[in-house]
């Protein structure tokens, strides 16, 4: 290897920074290319230098092609991701569309509906709420003093474990408004409990 370095130094006098280039370093890592360099250095003929130049041109072409292909794949992947995102934003799955099954029009929503699925409104009606679970008389009275919506929000939050977004969907309201209703209800409960004690 040290001997090969001497050939490279002699062949490129004063241009040793060339070897710091990764393309050149990779080119001279091949035994075939080293032998071309040695024959171009020892046998001073135009044909040997031409063979070395042709081998480097071929190597450089492969490096450029690999680099181009890698970038092409990268940008194509990014473009496909954007296309996919745009497509799905434009073409939402609509459950109101109809499909035909044996000359009958059936809505997609009818095909996906399960009778066992319960909505959050069903949970309010079918499960125990805060009033049913409260044993403290003062807290019970304070809960009774809340508005119907405040009580429903607290039931969905604490008894059913729903989040603000899910509760907002139940009421057709915004997350922020549900949060405000929740805070007011808690503040009202706190004030009533402080007065009672």
Share of the chain above pLDDT 70, in %: 71
CA dist 14 → 1, 8, 25, 84, 150 (Å): 20, 11, 16, 54, 84
pLDDT for residue 96: 58
pLDDT for residue 89: 79
Residue with more model confidence, 45 or 123: 45
pLDDT for residue 185: 92
pLDDT at 182 over 50: yes
Instruction: Answer whether 19's CB lies under 8 Å from 51's CB.
Output: no
Residue with more model confidence, 51 or 187: 187
CA dist 92 → 15, 96, 97, 105 (Å): 62, 11, 11, 21
pLDDT for residue 184: 93
CB atoms within 10 A of CB 115: 5
186 — pLDDT class (breaks 50, 70, 90): very high
Look over the chain and give the mean of its residue pLDDT values, rounded to a whole number.
77
Could you report the per-residue pLDDT of 72-113, keeping only the tens digit for each?
898 888 899 888 888 877 776 665 555 555 545 556 555 565
Instruction: Name which of 56-70, 112-126, 144-158, 176-190 the model is least confident about.
Output: 112-126
């Amino acid at each position: 290897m040290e001997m090969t370095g001497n050939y490279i130094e002699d062949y490129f006098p004063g241009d040793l920074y060339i070897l710091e280039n990764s393309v050149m370093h990779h080119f001279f890592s091949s035994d075939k290319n080293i032998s071309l360099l040695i024959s171009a250095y020892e046998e001073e003929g135009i044909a040997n230098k031409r063979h070395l130049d042709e081998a480097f041109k071929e190597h450089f072409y492969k490096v450029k092609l690999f680099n181009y292909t890698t970038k092409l794949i990268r940008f194509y992947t990014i473009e496909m991701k954007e296309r996919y995102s745009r497509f799905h934003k434009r073409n939402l799955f609509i459950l109101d569309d109809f499909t035909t099954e044996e000359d009958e029009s059936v809505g997609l929503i009818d095909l996906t509906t399960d009778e066992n699925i319960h909505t959050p409104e069903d949970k309010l009606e079918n499960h125990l709420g805060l009033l049913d679970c409260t044993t403290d008389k003062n807290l019970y009275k304070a809960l009774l003093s809340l508005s119907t919506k405040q009580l429903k929000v607290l039931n969905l939050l604490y008894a059913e474990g729903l989040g603000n977004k899910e509760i907002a969907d139940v009421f057709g309201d915004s997350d922020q408004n549900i949060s405000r209703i929740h805070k007011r209800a808690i503040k009202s409960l706190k004030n009533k409990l402080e007065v009672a004690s």
